[in-house]
Amino acid sequence: MELDRKSGILLHPTSLPGPDGIGDLGPEAYRWVDFLSKSGTQLWQILPLGPTGYGDSPYQCFSAFAGNPFLVSPILLLEDGLLTSADLKERPVFPTDEVDYGLAIEWKTFLLNKAFDAFTQKGSKKLQSEFERFCDDKKAWIEDYALFMAIKETQELHPWVDWPEPLKTRDADAIQDAKTTLADKILKHKFNQFLFFRQWLRLKAFAVEKKVEIIGDMPFVISLDSSDVWARPDLFLLDENLNPTFVAGVPPDYFSATGQLWGNPLYDWEYHLSSKFE
């Protein structure tokens, strides 16, 4: 089989320039794709786009399916009428020679909350219908993810293995109570995902139009502190306390003389085989 020879550049969206602390899916991303197209570069390689946890690593995400809401562009939210110019005037001063993720996350969270308020108070019927279709399309994972993130907020972002036992083990009454008392937070996290995928798919469509392929890798093991492991612990090798019995890593190599212990739980392959990988 013959393969076409192509050139490409590895650049994660967070490394794009911009005024909001980290790069995002806004105008600079379109400018980058346009540059790649005009220069004859066919591939844009990125890293995983999931919602990052501790250490801001794209390989330790709170979900294998969700997108990182901090990649949402405030400028595009302004164009959509979900933010105002006054909102953006509160922008803090970000360092120019390094990334302050803590400050960027605080700022982006503030703006995402503003956008959610605008949507719930005066969102158009068209946008509301689009949001409802999105939630229905992503129902296989978004309910557990939004609930997980809402509970995590109330637990000061502690890992789910350290939550109170009823929440940790997904006691039916505790889960139902959380769904009721945290309904607004749950809806907000769903809306954040809606914003991410809305902007991401528009950017992808632009790249297709410009004949630029977006490629990248994805983690082949799941973070322990994720909605995926919390929602389906039966799919992983965990003990009676829901701690991993085995964890992923790699032996010594070019990158580390002592190897790397990632800490991700391993899949329970016997269960997957018995369920025919449902």
- Per DSSP, 56 falls in state G
Both structure tokens of 93 = 């001063």
Average pLDDT by stretches of 10, the chain with 278 residues: 89 96 98 98 97 90 98 98 96 92 97 98 93 98 99 97 98 98 98 99 98 93 97 97 96 92 95 93
Q: What local confidence, expressed as pLDDT, does residue 83 receive? A: 97
pTM for this entry: 0.95
Q: Of 215, 196, 191, which Cα lies nearest the Cα of 25?
A: 196
Q: Of 226, 227, 238, which Cα lies nearest the Cα of 267?
A: 238
The single residue listed with the structure tokens 């379109």 is 30
Q: What local confidence, expressed as pLDDT, does residue 137 receive? A: 98
Phi-psi sector, 211: left (phi>0), alpha (psi -120 to 50), beta: left
The answer to whether the CB of 62 falls within 8 A of the CB of 223 is yes
Q: What local confidence, expressed as pLDDT, does residue 212 receive? A: 98
Which architecture characterizes domain 8-231 according to CATH? Alpha-Beta Barrel (3.20)
Q: Which helix (H) or strand (E) holds 77?
A: helix 74-79
Residue ranges of the domains in the chain? Answer: 8-231, 232-278
Q: What local confidence, expressed as pLDDT, does residue 218 receive? A: 86
Q: What local confidence, expressed as pLDDT, does residue 55 receive? A: 85
Q: What local confidence, expressed as pLDDT, does residue 123 receive? A: 82
- Compute φ and ψ for 57, nearest 5 degrees: -85, 130
Residue 61: beta bridge partners?
52
Q: What local confidence, expressed as pLDDT, does residue 168 receive? A: 98
